[in-house]
């Protein structure tokens, strides 16, 4: 038997519960290969005696491992390391009067890039089943207002209104580093963080720094257009791999790497794949990190809604298990608080952060220091943490109610899986339903929803769309589903 008493080092003074410490350390042993696939673990009573713990603590730790996908239970036999893990291997100017046309078209030529044509999303009045936006009515407005006022009373006023650090306000970087380390298992300092105006800016800067014309970027067959547009603008050549109920197909990625010979970047949304909301399975996470080391490509991890997970604890980001600095981690408070709060961040090794900041300086000298300071204060005072807890409870209830409505009112015309987290449900409609007509007729009745056409891979008709539930109250969700039901029945 492995010396578990030596391998599992527990800190009873830590704020992290003991059962979480046990579960996390077991997962690290699995990632390191100390515990192999299919290896039987000690019984709960036996391990509790070895570690001088209550048996229920070990039961809870094993249940956490089962929920995370690291362990599996065999009836009448015990608890084992999950069998689907790969083997771990260490590793002269004439003035002329302007005519009307000149106000529309310039007198010189320029290229209009068609792939940049994309509707601008705005928050519409009335009912909406959107892409998965937060409810701005829950945003901590009073707390934010107090934090803004404190900015004018704090420190040297002259410094407040001059130029600031291109990487972002020091307070927010410091507090965000602490927050990410605590909640996502990252090991950052403020030097590893740059504040941006939303995650889209982080994706753009990363693409501009890392990509050159012809570089291969791999995404899932279905993915976020905002990301691929940036890669294309950087001159990259896009490749795709399939996506199933466990996330992107990493085996297909491995084959693609062999065929291409050189892959520069892989873009993933592993916590909740966009648009389908599925979570990338742990063994695929390990294999993806291994492939990055072998083929020397960067992993661009877009973790757009990590703060909202409704079952157990969320699976930690790829960046938390990245020993070689292969992951660039991008996130945002847009989905956590409100779209108007243009606060995003990039987490990466300090050398890349420095280069990103140099590029950012020539297009956007700095962010909004007042907003960044205020958000930093909310983290420092734990107001942001309270907001996350409150929102999580509310969105959890709304998810459950919305999924019940879909099942009971539209069950014969839609297919969906209740998502473990996030703020939208990926919903496939019966092929007989015209999604464009459905979205148009719903809009005529005061309900916005996307027709889903942007999610279709080339040559495929998914007849699916993301239906956001978080930004609507339960009563608003009921009215929305009622409108959809009436339209579908009318068109039968």
- Per-residue pLDDT reduced to its tens digit, 338-347: 777 789 999 9
Return the structure tokens found at 185.
């298992």
Which CATH number belongs to the domain containing residue 54 in this structure?
A: 1.10.10.10
Domain-embedded: residue 472: yes
Look at the block and give the residue holding tokens 């936006």: 133
In this predicted model, what pLDDT tens digit does every residue of 230-288 receive, in sequence order? 999 999 999 999 999 999 999 999 999 999 889 999 999 999 999 999 999 999 999 99
Look at the chain and report how many structural domains it folds into: 3
> Is residue 372 domain-shared with residue 421, that is, in the same domain?
no
Assess whether 329 and 374 both reside in one domain: yes
Instruction: Give a yes or no: residue 94 inside a domain.
Output: no
Q: Is residue 67 part of a domain?
A: yes
Q: For residue range 456-488, what is the model confidence (pLDDT) as tens digits?
A: 888 888 999 999 999 999 999 999 999 999 999
394 and 344 within one domain: no
The verdict on 347 and 409 lying in the same domain is no
Based on the fold, state whether residues 449 and 366 are members of the same structural domain: no
| Contact residues for 405 (Cβ-Cβ < 8 A; gap 6+) | 477, 478, 481
285 in a domain, yes or no?
yes
Q: What are the start-end ranges of the E strands in 197-272?
A: 216-220, 237-241, 243-244, 247-248, 265-268
Q: Is residue 185 situated within a structural domain?
A: yes
CATH for 258? 3.40.640.10
Domain final residue, candidates 329, 360, 384: 384
393 and 376 fall within a common domain: no
**Residues 64 and 165 occupy one common structural domain:** no
pLDDT confidence band for 93 (50 / 70 / 90) = very low
92 vs 360, higher pLDDT: 360
Residue 415: which domain range? 127-138+386-491
Q: How far apart are CA 351 and CA 355, in angstroms?
A: 6
Confidence of residue 5 (pLDDT cuts 50, 70, 90): confident
Mean of per-residue pLDDT scores for the chain? 88
306 and 376 housed in the same domain: yes
| Cα separation, 9 vs 3, whole angstroms | 11
């Amino acid at each position: 038997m492995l010396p578990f008493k030596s391998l599992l080092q527990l800190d009873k003074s830590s704020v992290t519960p003991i059962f979480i410490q046990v579960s996390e350390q077991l997962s690290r042993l699995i990632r390191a290969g100390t515990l192999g696939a299919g290896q039987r673990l000690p019984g709960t009573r036996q391990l509790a005696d070895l570690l001088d713990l209550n048996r229920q603590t070990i039961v809870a730790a094993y249940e956490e491992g089962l929920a995370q996908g690291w362990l599996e239970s065999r009836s009448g036999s015990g608890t084992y390391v999950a069998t689907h893990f790969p083997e771990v291997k260490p590793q002269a100017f004439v003035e002329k009067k302007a005519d009307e046309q000149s106000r529309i078209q310039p007198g010189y030529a320029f290229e209009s890039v068609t792939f940049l044509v994309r509707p601008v999303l705005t928050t519409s009045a009335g009912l909406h089943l959107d892409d998965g936006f937060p409810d701005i009515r829950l945003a901590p407005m009073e707390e934010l207002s107090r934090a803004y006022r404190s900015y004018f009373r704090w420190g040297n006023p002259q410094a407040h209104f001059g130029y600031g650090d291109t990487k972002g306000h020091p307070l927010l970087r410091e507090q965000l580093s602490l927050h990410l380390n605590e909640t996502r298992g990252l090991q950052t300092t403020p030097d590893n963080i740059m504040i941006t105006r939303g995650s889209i800016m982080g994706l753009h800067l990363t693409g501009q720094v890392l990509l050159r014309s012809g570089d291969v970027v791999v995404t899932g067959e279905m993915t976020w257009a905002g990301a691929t547009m940036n890669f294309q603008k950087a001159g990259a050549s896009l490749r795709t791999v399939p996506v199933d109920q466990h996330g992107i197909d990493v085996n297909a990625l491995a084959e693609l790497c062999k065929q291409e010979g050189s892959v520069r970047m892989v873009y993933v949304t592993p916590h909740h794949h966009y648009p389908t909301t599925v979570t990338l399975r742990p063994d695929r996470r390990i294999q993806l990190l291994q492939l990055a080391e072998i083929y020397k490509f960067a992993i661009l991890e877009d973790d757009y809604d990590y703060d909202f997970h409704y079952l157990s604890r969320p699976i930690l980001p790829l960046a938390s298990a990245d020993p070689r600095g292969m992951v660039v981690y991008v996130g945002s408070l847009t989905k956590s608080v409100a779209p108007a709060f243009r606060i995003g961040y990039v987490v990466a090794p300090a050398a890349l952060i420095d280069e990103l900041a140099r590029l950012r300086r020539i297009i956007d000298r700095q962010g909004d220091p007042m907003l960044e300071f205020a958000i930093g204060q909310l983290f420092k005072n734990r107001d942001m943490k309270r907001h996350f807890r409150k929102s999580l409870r509310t969105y959890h209830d709304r998810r459950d109610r919305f999924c019940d409505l879909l099942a009971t009112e539209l069950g014969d015309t839609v297919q969906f899986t209740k998502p473990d987290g996030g703020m939208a449900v990926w919903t496939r409609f019966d092929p007989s339903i015209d999604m464009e007509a459905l979205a148009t007729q719903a809009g005529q009745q005061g309900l916005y929803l996307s027709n889903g056409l942007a999610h279709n891979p080339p040559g495929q008709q998914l007849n699916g769309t993301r239906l956001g539930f978080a930004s609507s109250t339960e009563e608003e969700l009921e009215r929305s589903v009622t409108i959809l039901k009436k339209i579908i029945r009318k068109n039968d």
